[in-house]
């Protein structure tokens, strides 16, 4: 196995985009994309010294590298020059091209077939690296990822973290791979508050539609909190009639002022259906995005594991058998971490260190960023008198040999 390059991740920071209504109702230009760590540190210290932290515990959990825009007291006018929004936002957008290699057998011989895909991404934050957010399905299984910026330059990207259940992925790009001109051109997206959206609000979708480069479409919020099942996973999404086509996945859904309110991820396709697209609400995704951004880089050999026999409790099984969604614990050895923690057989693991898991894939991905031999928590649904009750257990994660 090739020796992995160890990376040191800087302190967690909070990049806050501030909305402002100017003459004519136009949003102030987004902050420049490249800022040095020193500049940020000074700004953060000033903010901490001048503002009193009156957040609730739930609000405090969502603080990380990315934060929502400060909510305005008055409702923003829906009359905007969309061309100005385009000029302000397009430096925050990237095109994503992926390569995937699959193996297949033919008459006993193994062959490799390379396929290509495309999608969109949003420059969401920066620290020691540039951070992009996109959909999990855009980069799932990719062996190579290339991103193209507004100036036409390209750079390789790596997956920092990904969550299949929420269809969110965070990518990183090293500053050393970017040209000076690119650094001077790109911007960090202004993050809005999707909780402020109402049916009928104008929204703008920007993305790499059909892999042909960045394009824009305009529409309205058709519905909020729409429950949609995509590949067996139920999600609550923003519904819009703004055109969202293949390649738009991972792109931005913006409010009329140009602030990010959603991440485009799906389109309903049927002969009798037209103008139904969906986006992940940004306010619900921020907590996950920040967890992915701030994950510690750990080699596979150093990462944690849990040895047991389990099965995914899918939404269909959960509904049919009245069992919570998660990972069902069917069997384990007496010396396993689960046994030592006192976790009962036939219970369901639903969280690891506070991170929700709904499948073995999500469980393994979460353990990939936990160091083996360390102590953490598992939230487990335990059946007591016919009813599943959540209980938290302290567990020492097993180390890989």
pLDDT in tens, 29-62: 333 333 333 344 444 455 554 445 555 544 455 5
- Looking at residue 214, its pLDDT comes to 87
What would you report as the CA-atom Rg of the chain, rounded to the nearest whole angstrom? 22
DSSP 308: -
CA atoms within 13 A on the CB side of 264: 35
Whether 49 sits among the annotated catalytic residues: the reply is no
Burial of 142 (0-12, 13-18, 19+ CB in 10 A): buried
- Structure tokens, 92: 């925050």
Catalytic option among 137, 162, 194, 201: 137
- Looking at residue 109, its pLDDT comes to 81
pLDDT-derived band at 4, boundaries 50, 70, 90 = very low
- Looking at residue 274, its pLDDT comes to 67
In contact, 236 and 226? CB cutoff 8 Å: yes
- Looking at residue 58, its pLDDT comes to 47
- Looking at residue 260, its pLDDT comes to 94
What does the pLDDT look like over 354-376, one tens digit per residue? 888 888 988 988 898 899 999 99
Catalytic option among 97, 167, 201, 365: 167
Whether 136 sits among the annotated catalytic residues: the reply is no
Listed in order, strand segments (DSSP E) in 46-201 are: 93-106, 109-126, 130-134, 144-148, 154-156, 158-163, 168-173
Does residue 161 register a pLDDT over 90?
no
**Least confident span in 92-96, 256-260, 328-332, 358-362:** 358-362
User: Mean pLDDT over residues 157-183, rounded?
Assistant: 90
- Looking at residue 95, its pLDDT comes to 94
pLDDT-derived band at 268, boundaries 50, 70, 90 = low
pLDDT-derived band at 245, boundaries 50, 70, 90 = confident
pLDDT-derived band at 315, boundaries 50, 70, 90 = confident
- Looking at residue 46, its pLDDT comes to 52
- Looking at residue 113, its pLDDT comes to 77
- Looking at residue 13, its pLDDT comes to 39
Q: What percent of the chain has pLDDT over 70?
A: 78
Does residue 185 register a pLDDT over 60?
yes
User: Mean pLDDT over residues 264-292, rounded?
Assistant: 79
pLDDT-derived band at 338, boundaries 50, 70, 90 = very high
User: Mean pLDDT over residues 200-221, rounded?
Assistant: 88
- Looking at residue 237, its pLDDT comes to 92
The structural domains of the chain, ordered by start, are 1-296 (2.40.10.120), 300-399 (2.30.42.10)
**How do the residues of the chain divide into helix, strand and coil, expressed in percent and rounded to 5?**
20, 40, 40
Does residue 248 register a pLDDT over 90?
no
Residue found under tokens 């979708």: 205
Does residue 390 register a pLDDT over 90?
yes
Catalytic option among 92, 194, 217, 249: 249
In contact, 138 and 164? CB cutoff 8 Å: no
Does residue 121 register a pLDDT over 50?
yes
**Least confident span in 25-29, 110-114, 197-201, 325-329:** 25-29
Residue found under tokens 């077939």: 113
Nearest to 311 by CA among 277, 346, 276, 344: 346
pLDDT mean across residues, the chain: 79
pLDDT-derived band at 350, boundaries 50, 70, 90 = very high
- Looking at residue 123, its pLDDT comes to 94
What does the pLDDT look like over 70-82, one tens digit per residue? 433 434 444 567 8
């Amino acid at each position: 196995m090739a020796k992995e390059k160890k990376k040191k991740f800087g302190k967690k920071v909070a990049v806050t985009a501030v909305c402002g209504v100017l003459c004519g109702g136009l949003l102030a230009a987004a902050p420049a994309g490249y800022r040095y760590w020193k500049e940020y540190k000074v700004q953060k210290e000033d903010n901490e010294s001048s503002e009193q932290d009156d957040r609730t515990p739930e609000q405090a959990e969502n603080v990380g590298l990315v934060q929502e825009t400060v909510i305005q007291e008055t409702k923003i006018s829906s009359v905007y020059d969309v061309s100005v929004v385009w000029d302000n936002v397009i430096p925050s957008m990237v095109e994503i091209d992926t390569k995937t290699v699959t193996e297949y057998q033919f008459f006993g011989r193994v062959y490799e077939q390379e396929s290509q895909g495309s999608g969109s991404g949003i420059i969401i934050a920066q620290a020691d690296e540039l951070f992009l957010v996109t959909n999990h399905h855009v980069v799932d299984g990719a062996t190579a990822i290339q991103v193209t910026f507004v100036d036409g330059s390209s750079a390789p990207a790596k997956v920092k973290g990904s969550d299949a259940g929420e269809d969110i992925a965070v990518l990183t790009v090293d500053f050393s791979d970017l040209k000076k001109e690119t650094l001077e051109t790109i911007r960090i997206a202004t993050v809005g508050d999707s909780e402020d959206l109402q049916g009928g609000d104008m929204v703008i979708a920007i993305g790499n539609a059909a892999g042909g480069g960045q394009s824009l479409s305009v529409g309205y919020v058709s519905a909020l909190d729409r429950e949609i099942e995509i590949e067996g996973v139920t999600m609550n999404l923003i519904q819009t009639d703004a055109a969202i086509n293949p390649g738009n996945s991972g792109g931005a859904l913006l409010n009329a002022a140009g602030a990010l309110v959603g991440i485009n991820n799906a389109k309903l396709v049927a002969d009798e259906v037209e103008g139904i697209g969906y986006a992940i609400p940004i306010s619900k995704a921020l907590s996950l995005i920040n967890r992915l951004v701030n994950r510690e880089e750990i080699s596979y050999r150093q990462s944690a594991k849990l040895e047991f026999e389990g099965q995914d409790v899918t939404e269909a099984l959960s509904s049919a058998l009245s069992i919570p969604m998660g990972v069902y614990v069917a069997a384990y050895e007496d010396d396993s971490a689960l046994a030592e923690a006192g976790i009962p057989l036939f219970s369901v693991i639903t969280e690891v260190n506070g991170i929700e898991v709904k499948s073995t894939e999500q469980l393994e991905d979460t353990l990939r960023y936990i160091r083996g031999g360390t102590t953490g928590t598992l939230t487990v649904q335990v059946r007591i008198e016919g009813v599943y009750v959540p209980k938290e257990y302290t567990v020492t994660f097993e180390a890989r040999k």
